[in-house]
Amino acid sequence: MQRPQPFALAVPVNHTDHVLGPATAKVTVVEYGDFECPSCGQAYPAVKMLLKHFGDRMRFVFRQFPLVEVHPHAELAAEAAEAAGAQHKFWQMHDLLFEHQLHLKAASLRQYALQA
């Protein structure tokens, strides 16, 4: 029986991505996420659990995908996360945004920026 061949990501991980875990990890999980999306918010603790459980055997990539048609604060939240990322604090902001997902108006985002 022939072993299944690994597949390549349609959009390879690159220097613009937000990545946790080593490039040598056997598994890469890519989330196209929206900080205001309820399903993404429900996935957040599961992703944290997977990262803790698998450690360096897993790589997690978060890519912005704000659904602006249905989530009025998603784009501004994504911009706040990117601004934090420019200061090497993307993951701190990522966590704050998902932990306070129901409070993503501009005033709240400014407060999170001070915390990140």
pLDDT in tens, 24-83: 999 999 999 999 999 999 999 999 999 999 999 999 999 999 999 999 999 999 999 999
Q: Which residues pair with 98 in a beta bridge?
A: none
- In this predicted structure, what is the pLDDT of residue 3? 75
CATH class of 18-115: alpha beta
Long-range contacts of residues 66-72, Cβ cutoff 8 Å, at least 24 apart? 66/34, 66/35, 66/36, 67/34, 67/36, 67/37, 71/34, 71/36, 71/37, 72/36
How many CB atoms are closer than 10 A to CB 77? 28
Confidence label for 10 from pLDDT (cuts 50, 70 and 90): confident
Confidence label for 23 from pLDDT (cuts 50, 70 and 90): very high
